[in-house]
């Protein structure tokens, strides 16, 4: 049996104020490993064994990647033998603060591995998966995603709450260094549970005074959901609070998420037809006064600029206490304060108060589109869809708070006979045809056509139909695709160019597109693509067919010949368009849905070819399908994960960064080449986040 080691004591004079020994004093007397006591020898032995287990090939591979260049260059290739002169093992604790900071830069001693992308040949599209292939990103359906800090942190909203995906996790190495890993080792940390997150959008992206618009609701299995019948509300969160909550979860690995079950139940508005009983009044009395005041305050205060980031991290209420015993309670309470740092959009007494929100849509006035006397082209429009209404808000000039849009002294509130599934802003042209014979589908020679300027409208998708609402005059109409039977000769030229079958894909003619099945096909929201020549197109999809229509859309889409028609194998849930920055570029369409991912690339010149010319776009159209492992869906645009020369994405492709260099063309180029995030269902309780994108020049 080994000899019993003596008890280590501080035999020197007490140097601290309280007379107690410290680790620094003990290390000076007994060595750097004195704090481990009798285990110091075993720790050194295990460290030498691990070092000896590394083969020369593994050591050469690590040296090629930059691991330990400073100390391993002087080592012998053969495994070392223990000697009395070896330095003792030391643990570095000075770098612990780096865990709460952004990932280290390129000067890190252990650089990140390059990002690995899957190229979808023969197209220009690339696909990236994040994290372990054995661990899901969420066990509930993923609804939305919000990139933060140049896509280094991804907020994931799902039915169980909110999580953050750390794209560059950091771990301790055996020699005490911090190793920053890449997206292939990304990790998910839960932020809160008890409130589902269905939609997230930026109102302002400044980290100090930014605001995020979030659609939340009680979790389906929570008590609040059963009592309120899935009441969903729109809130405005401080971006600084959400960012602080995400950084806290990343730094404190393994910490429990914030539980919002009780808070969501207390914040729920009772039904209008139920009187407030004594039990409800009793529950209301349990709510702290600070919570009640925070919910009732005007959200103009939220949108005011924050004095500093540290002030925003303090939460909506400040704790004025000098007791040192409560300091740890304040730290532990920070995640709850950050999660509750919001203001509801629906103020008491407003039209939106007490109504369940289905979805919302934002439109930046700088994108164009007149609205007939609704103020200068700046600010934002916000459309909120409830069960039977669509409410319209706007930001007045020189203000940041939303107000009801009013025309002729009346607020804009549109009634919908059916419950809408999604709403989207789009630009529309109006042509009034005045003719003696109103029953004709086309204007006669004696008719007169009056054209108006571009108008802003709302595209409303119902269960089996779609319609539009023009904001200027509240006119409504049903959306229909081009009738191929009415003008078959004009459409065949375009169908011949774009409806190309590649890799065994069966052809689809106009007769199969316009058959009876189109009446039951479902619509999906339209998407807009800006072409290099200054023109724009809309992608209108119903069922398994996408029409490429010129922008702005005509109010009579039935008689407007589309620029092209693209059929899909299965009906997609979303179609994303990307455009190459070159003048003679490509239009890349990606369909996401229940089946595999379908990608079609076609030359833009074929879209602009007149029906009488002979184009060669047929031979240049490319099509590919990729099995993602399950059902897929669209989340949001963002990311440049195909560019592996700097995987950390420390550069920020924003308008502000390019204004300093006066390079608008470069900014536009990167905006067109930005990718997009999607979700994929791998199993029963396995949802993942993936990315699709890629540059057009490197292929």
pLDDT (tens digit, 9 = 90+) per residue, 415-469?
998 999 999 999 998 766 554 554 444 444 454 555 567 889 999 999 989 999 9
CA distances from 668 to 362, 432, 693 (A): 21, 36, 16
Same domain membership, residue 523 and residue 427? no
- Same domain, residue pair 570 and 653: yes
pLDDT confidence of residue 662: 52
Q: What secondary structure letter does DSSP report for 322?
A: -
At residue 219 the predicted structure's pLDDT band, cuts being 50, 70 and 90, is confident
Residue 281 lies in a domain: no
**How far, in Å, CA of 13 to CA of 5, rounded?**
23
681 and 552 belong to one structural domain: yes
CA distance 579 to 388: 37
Whether residue 542 is found in the same domain as residue 422: no
- What digits encode the pLDDT tens for the residues 336-350? 999 999 999 998 888
The C-alpha atoms of residue 438 and residue 436 are separated, in whole angstroms, by 6
Angle at 667 between CA 653 and CA 371, to 5 degrees: 105
Instruction: Tell me the CA distances in angstroms from 349 to 73, 270, 345, one per residue in order.
Output: 73, 14, 12
Out of 454, 478, 502, a domain closes at 478
DSSP 370-413: B-SSS-SS-SEEEEEE-SSEEEEEEPPTT--S-EE-EETTEE-E
Model confidence band, residue 209 (pLDDT cutoffs 50, 70, 90):
confident
In 543-584, alpha helices (H): none
Determine, yes or no, domain membership for 513: yes
Residue 7 covered by a domain:
no
User: 197-201, 485-489, 547-551: which has the minimum mean pLDDT?
Assistant: 485-489
- Considering the chain, what percentage of its residues have pLDDT values greater than 70? 59
Question: Phi and psi dihedrals of 656, rounded to 5?
Answer: -65, -35
Reply yes or no on whether the pLDDT at 400 is more than 80.
no
Are 494 and 455 found together in one domain?
no
Cα–Cα distance between 669 and 352 in angstroms, integer? Answer: 40
Q: Is the pLDDT of residue 385 over 70?
A: yes
Q: Say if CB 304 and CB 350 are below 8 A apart.
A: no
Looking at residues 41-64, what average pLDDT do you find? 80
Residues 497 and 471 in one domain: no
Do 397 and 493 reside in the same domain of the chain? no
Establish if 581 belongs to a structural domain: yes
Q: Stretch 614-639: mean pLDDT, rounded?
A: 79
Return mean pLDDT, the chain. Answer: 73
Three-state secondary-structure class, residue 364: strand
Higher pLDDT residue, 687 or 620? 687
Residue 61, φ and ψ in degrees, nearest 5: -65, -40
Number of domains in the chain: 2
Q: What is the pLDDT of residues 249-298, one digit of tens each?
A: 999 988 899 998 755 554 544 444 444 444 344 434 444 444 444 443 44
Given a cut of 60, is residue 225 above it in pLDDT? no
Q: Evaluate whether residue 584 is within a structural domain.
A: yes
Indicate whether 176 belongs to any domain.
Answer: no
Q: Does 541 lie in the same domain as 632?
A: yes
Is 200 inside a domain boundary?
no
Which residues have C-beta within 8 Å of that of residue 513, sequence separation ≥ 6? 484, 545, 565, 567
pLDDT score of 7 = 58
CB under 8 A, 24+ apart: contacts of 436-440: none
pLDDT bracket for residue 686 (50, 70, 90): very high
pLDDT the model gives residue 473: 86
pLDDT band (50, 70, 90) for residue 130:
very high
Which residue segment(s) compose the domain that 378 sits in? 359-436+446-478
Query: Has residue 452 been placed in a domain?
Result: yes
* Same domain? 622 vs 499: yes
* 453 and 499 part of one domain: no
Same domain, 494 and 466: no
User: Which pLDDT value is given to residue 695?
Assistant: 81
Mean pLDDT within 536-557: 91
Residue from 107, 110, 114, 123 nearest 641 by CA = 114
- Residue 609 confidence (pLDDT) above 80: no
- Examine the domain organization and report whether 493 and 390 are in the same domain: no
**Which pTM value belongs to this model?**
0.70
């Amino acid at each position: 049996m080994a000899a019993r080691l003596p008890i280590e004591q501080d035999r020197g004079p007490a140097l601290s104020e309280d007379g107690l020994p410290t680790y620094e004093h003990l290390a000076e007397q007994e060595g750097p490993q004195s704090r481990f006591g009798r285990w110091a020898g075993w720790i050194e032995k295990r460290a030498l064994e691990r070092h000896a287990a590394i083969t020369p090939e593994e050591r050469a591979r690590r040296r090629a990647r930059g691991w330990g260049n400073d100390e391993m260059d002087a080592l012998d290739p053969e495994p070392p033998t223990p000697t009395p002169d070896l330095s003792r093992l030391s643990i570095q604790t000075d770098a612990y603060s780096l865990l709460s900071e952004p990932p280290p830069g390129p000067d890190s001693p252990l650089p990140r591995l390059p990002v690995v992308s899957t190229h979808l040949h023969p197209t220009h599209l690339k696909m990236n998966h994040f994290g372990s292939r054995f661990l899901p990103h969420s066990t509930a359906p993923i609804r939305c995603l919000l990139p933060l800090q140049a896509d280094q942190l991804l907020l994931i909203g799902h039915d169980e709450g909110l999580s953050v995906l750390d794209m560059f996790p950091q771990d301790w190495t055996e020699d005490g260094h911090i190793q920053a890993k890449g997206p292939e080792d990304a990790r998910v940390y839960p932020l809160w549970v008890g409130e589902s997150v269905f939609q997230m959008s930026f109102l302002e992206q400044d980290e100090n005074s930014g605001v995020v618009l979030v659609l939340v609701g009680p979790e389906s299995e929570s008590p609040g959901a059963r009592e309120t019948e899935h009441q969903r509300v729109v809130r405005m969160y401080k971006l600084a609070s959400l960012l602080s909550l995400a950084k806290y979860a990343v730094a404190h690995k393994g910490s429990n998420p914030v539980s919002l079950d009780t808070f969501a139940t207390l914040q729920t508005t009772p039904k209008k037809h139920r009187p407030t009983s004594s039990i409800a009044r009793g529950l209301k009395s349990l709510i702290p006064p600070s919570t009640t005041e925070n919910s009732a305050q005007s959200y103009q205060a939220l949108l005011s600029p924050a004095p500093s980031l540290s002030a925003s991290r303090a939460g909506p209420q400040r704790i004025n206490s000098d007791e040192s015993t409560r300091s740890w309670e304040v730290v532990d309470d920070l995640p709850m304060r950050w999660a509750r740092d919001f203001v509801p959009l629906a103020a008491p007494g407003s039209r939106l108060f007490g109504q369940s929100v289905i979805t919302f849509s934002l439109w930046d006035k700088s994108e164009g589109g007149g609205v007939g006397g609704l103020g200068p082209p700046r600010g934002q429009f916000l459309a909120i869809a409830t069960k039977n209404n669509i409410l319209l808000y706007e930001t007045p000039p020189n203000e940041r708070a939303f107000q009801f849009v009013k025309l002729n002294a009346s607020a804009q509130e549109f009634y919908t006979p059916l419950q809408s599934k999604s709403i989207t802003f789009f630009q529309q042209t109006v042509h009034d045809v005045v003719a003696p014979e109103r029953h004709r589908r086309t204007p006669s020679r004696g008719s007169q056509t009056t054209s108006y300027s571009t108008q802003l409208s709302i595209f409303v998708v119902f269960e089996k139909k779609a319609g539009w609402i023009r904001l200027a005059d509240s006119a409504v109409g049903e959306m229909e695709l081009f009738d191929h039977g009415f003008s078959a000769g004009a459409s065949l030229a375009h169908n011949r160019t774009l409806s190309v079958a590649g890799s065994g894909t069966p052809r689809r003619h106009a007769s199969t597109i316009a058959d009876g099945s189109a009446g039951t096909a479902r619509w999906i929201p339209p998407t807009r693509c800006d072409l290099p020549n200054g023109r724009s197109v809309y992608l209108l999809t119903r069922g398994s067919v996408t029409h490429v229509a010129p922008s702005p859309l005509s109010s009579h889409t039935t008689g407007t010949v589309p620029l092209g028609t693209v059929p899909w194998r299965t009906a997609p849930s979303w179609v994303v368009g990307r455009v190459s920055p070159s003048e003679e570029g490509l239009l890349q369409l990606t369909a996401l849905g229940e089946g595999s991912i379908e990608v079609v690339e076609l030359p833009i010149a074929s879209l602009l070819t007149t029906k009488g010319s002979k184009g060669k776009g047929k031979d240049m159209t490319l099509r590919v399908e990729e099995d993602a492992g399950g059902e897929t869906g669209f989340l949001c645009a963002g990311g440049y994960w195909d560019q592996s020369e700097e995987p950390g994405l420390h550069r920020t492709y924003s308008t502000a960064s390019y204004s300093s260099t006066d390079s608008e063309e470069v900014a536009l180029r990167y905006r067109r080449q930005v990718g997009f995030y999607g979700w994929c269902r791998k199993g029963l309780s396995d949802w993942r986040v993936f990315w699709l994108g890629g540059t057009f020049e490197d292929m």
